[in-house]
Structure 1
Amino acid sequence: MTAIAIDPTLDLTLQRVIRASPEAIWRAWTDPAELERWWVPAPTQARAEQLDVRPGGGFVTTMRDDDGEFLPHTDGIFLVVEPAQRLVFTNAVTSSWRPASPSPVPMTAEIILGEHPEGTDYRVIVRHADPADRDRHEELGFFDGWGSVTAALAEMVEIGEGPRAADQAG
């Protein structure tokens, strides 16, 4: 894995320990049914329209509130896929390999799953082209949005790997 320095004037970061294996978190990111359970803040619903988890593969999601119509949410591509370790995607290029029209916040997101004695050291680095994009993303609620979906992801995978799941399996 190539480490890229974090620039606080361009990058937003989030880190937490998730009490589940990197493999469980990887499944939550790469299985459409699991991604749909946590990818947008509740009560909004997500749908994985395309989840082609390979370098150059499409990453397309839609979302809806209440019983409304599903609207575009994410349209990008995966850049780096290192199973159970690292996933990088961008919305600067669409799933059809065209330059993206300016979105509210063009970005490249890197998800890093590291070893931790209590489970997984989960890190998110979202890189931006300039300080204005970084600041706009923060103002749009990066910490609340990514924080709440990371909490939902953690809850889902921790329950799935907790003692209750082991008891049900036996």
Structure 2
Amino acid sequence: MFIKASPERIWQAITTPEATERYFHRARITNTRDGHIARGPDGSNWGDGAVTVFDPPRRLVHEWRSLYDPDLAEEKTSRVTWEIEPQDGGYCKLTLTHDQLDDSPKTAESVFGDGWMFVLSGLKTLLETGEPLS
């Protein structure tokens, strides 16, 4: 996906709860060297995991556990990789890879299709217009 935003703005949008709650199903997500934490609007734990690569503003790799749904919470941890590559003209190429899903079929079903597409469309809309996708 190409986004008209600097690597720093994209990085801030994927690592801070003030930004993620505006495009990521109202989840307040924090990504730091210490870990990945996702909280629901009510403060409940929606997910957590280790951060294995923290390279601002270029690359973030973290574990993924969907704790907001009991069926998904039973599955094994998967992995999410965010890669930000500056392009000409003030754009960046953002690549998201969600893998290690062989033992997590319900999680795979929930994140593919409209799952990540909605999140990434919301991120792009927010960064390019200043308004959330709704």
TM-score, structure 1 as length reference: 0.62
Identity, in percent, stands at 27
Counterpart of 2:23, as a letter, is W
Deviation (angstroms), 1:141: 4.3
State the structure with more CA Rg: 1
2:77 is equivalent to residue 106 of structure 1: yes
CA separation of 1:129 and 1:146: change in aligned 2, threshold 3 A: closer
SS at match of 1:90: strand
Gaps of 5+ in 2: 66-72
Between the aligned partners of 1:127 and 1:29, the Cα distance in structure 2 is 18
In the alignment, what sits opposite 2:95? 123
Instruction: Tell me how large the CA RMSD over aligned residues is.
Output: 2.4
Gaps of 5+ in 1: 1-15, 93-101, 161-170
Q: Residues 11-68 of structure 1, C-alpha deviation per residue, up to 9 Å, x if partnerless?
A: xxxxx1111111110010122211221222xxxx2234xx3511xx12212224xxxx
Question: How many residue pairs get matched?
Answer: 123
SS at match of 1:38: coil
2:110 is equivalent to residue 140 of structure 1: yes
In the alignment, what sits opposite 2:32? 53
Following superposition, which runs of at least 4 residues in structure 1 exceed 6 angstroms of deviation?
A: none
